[in-house]
Chain A
């Protein structure tokens, strides 16, 4: 262990000597953290609707007015025919076409039943599904209104009715920032940790300086610690910066304790560094390291619950998320930030992350010895 301080000194010097790397480590992720949350709002809103009104009755005009007034829709145009409206869908200007058939009002009064036609651009299935369901809700409300008027006299709830009230906890204003920012923070730490270690060690291999270190009396674990510690420190600094950005730009502070976040971040970083280390033991060039790190990162992030909820995944994929370290950290950091969860609540995550840290580093050390023996 006597050699460790010297190794650390060397590593830190190397890192600080290269201003480009330093800039990249700190500035680029911060820019990401600031920009992505502004863009990453995938709430379905502002659905562009085009209404073809072939009836021109008082009912049809009221329905159009109701749609115009709703917050979900933006009425883009009222073309004279369905064919015209379809052109707007093709060019991407409209998402939804509502067609009111001729004689809509007359038929409705006469035969107590009449149809409206709703066509949606379903390239994006979710948008189409929600759009048509919002439109159907408005039509149902409209239906209730005119039915009530038709009765002429007010009655007290003539049919059994269930009133549903709802509340959104932890995020009553449905703000995407407070959902995305902690998640992106987790990704940031993951990228800094895994990519940088993997690349750094492989760079030494590629340039050949690792041979020089191998012939010195430095022990393997000293070498590995010498690589781990600086990047661990960088990782902790970057999460601190990230939390500052989250507060300054988005006014987001954790409801739970900072200490808890640091505790989990410290353990998580160890695991991520272990992954980076492991990657570096079985690749030879930086290009390979990049590809490997990118490949796993893609899978990790996509299966991490950052953008799509884990319980919507099929069972085999849910099982995969159990061995996916970022999935745990994303969950933890969101729970502490948004719900103020405490250590007790997150105990299962704690053990899992500790397990990852031990596992990956042990694997890396083992693999490392094999190669250079």
Chain B
């Protein structure tokens, strides 16, 4: 056992000496948290719109001003005829064109019925429908104001409550996602590449003549990455709480224990990959394309799993990140206890044991 720790220490020294790698390993979670926290959002803010105002009357001007002043839109272009719509879209200068007919004000005040046409660039379908929704809401408010103070009978009011996340902060959704991705990346990819490296350079043979069993040699390479994963995890949690002001609702101990379990799952995947390939390029490509991509797609973090075709929903059950993501959401955001994540925990545990067993079996065959 003593020899094992000597090996672990050697691996640590290797890792710490590589300043550039350490910089990225610590910088990556930082940058991802900052990007997700402050730069990325599918919310619509200050979208460029164009108007085609054939009416040019007081009512249409008022409405255009109102659209421009809202925090969702900016009137970037005023068009003269319908043909210009196409050009504006093809150059990507506006997301939405608002079209007023000739007699807008007259229709509104004398016929009690006026028309507006909205044309959205639905290349990006989500943004297009959100933009159209917002514009309709602003037009609806405008109509209310035209109506004045007249009170309608039989009003149904709706009281809204946002559970767990009253301010609708996006951090509540992405922090668990970033944790999942970073731990998967470090645990699986870094471990697999670092082990295959020894094989590729031929130094594995040297390690194997040591009095330790091969599997311990391999495990000693994994230990520094466990420590690194835990450090990154702590970094992410500190940023979530102190920079993004997202409280940890549930038990911190439970969260850390579950995270440690997930780190082991990722490591066992890394071991499995390294047991099966011979070159770093292949190891890297497999972890990146075969592991990281599915992890991103199937975690439920970026794309809702319910929307996927049935086959993919079934496949998603085989992806560890899906279960860990659900655990983190339940514990960290909703503040639920162990009984609500027991199922996910056992699935992860089962996967870890399975991957590990498979990896050990493969290593034995190959290294003797």
Chain A positions near chain B (C-beta within 8 angstroms): 18, 20-21, 24, 28-29, 32, 35-36, 38-46, 89-92, 108-109, 112-130, 132-133, 135-136, 139-140, 142-143, 146-147, 150, 156-172, 174-176, 179, 191, 195, 199-200, 203, 206, 283, 285-288, 290-292, 294-295, 298-299, 302-303, 307-309, 311-314, 316-317, 320, 331, 334-335, 338-342, 345
Contacts and interface: CB of A to CB of B under 8 A. Distances in A.
A153 to B, nearest CB: 14
Interface residues of B, number: 118
Nearest to B97: A169
Interface in B128-143: 128-130, 132-133, 135-136, 139-140, 142-143
A317 B38 contact: yes
A309 B124 contact: yes
A302 B36 CA distance: 9
Interface in B85-142: 85, 87, 89-92, 95, 108-109, 111-130, 132-133, 135-136, 139-140, 142
Contacts of B32: 298, 302
A172 to B, nearest CB: 7
B334 A90 contact: yes
B122 A299 contact: no
Nearest to B294: A35
Contacts of A157: 111-113
Contacts of A331: 92
Contact of A345 (B91, B112, B147, B164): B91
B158 to A, nearest CB: 5
Given A28-B290, A42-B307, A311-B46, A143 B156 contact: yes
B272 interface: no
B142 A162 contact: yes
B27 interface: yes
A43 B160 contact: no
Contacts of B140: 162
A147 B156 CA distance: 10
B158 A118 contact: yes
* Complex A-B, nearest 3 residue pairs according to Cβ-Cβ distance, in ascending order: A168-B122, A125-B168, A317-B39
Contact of A24 (B146, B289, B326): B289
Interface of B: 18, 20-21, 24-25, 27-28, 31-32, 35-36, 38-48, 85, 87, 89-92, 95, 108-109, 111-130, 132-133, 135-136, 139-140, 142-143, 146-147, 150, 152-166, 168-170, 172-173, 185, 189-190, 193-194, 197, 201, 277, 279-282, 284-286, 288-290, 293, 297-298, 302-304, 306-309, 312, 326, 329-330, 333-334, 336, 340
A292 B281 contact: no
A313 B39 contact: yes
Given A120-B161, A287-B194, A147 B152 contact: yes
Contact of A32 (B35, B190, B289): B289
A58 B227 CA distance: 62
B117 A166 contact: yes
A217 B75 CA distance: 61
A166 B120 contact: yes
B117 A165 contact: yes
B297 A128 contact: no
A45 B112 CA distance: 34
Contacts of B42: 42, 126, 307-309, 312
Given A42-B302, A170-B122, A339 B90 contact: yes
Given A165-B116, A168-B129, A309-B124, 9 more contacts: A20-B282, A40-B302, A113-B156, A114-B156, A128-B168, A161-B143, A165-B118, A287-B21, A302-B39
A143 B189 CA distance: 56
A303 B161 contact: no
A115 B127 CA distance: 31
Interface centre among B91, B140, B159, B285 (most CB of A within 10 A): B285
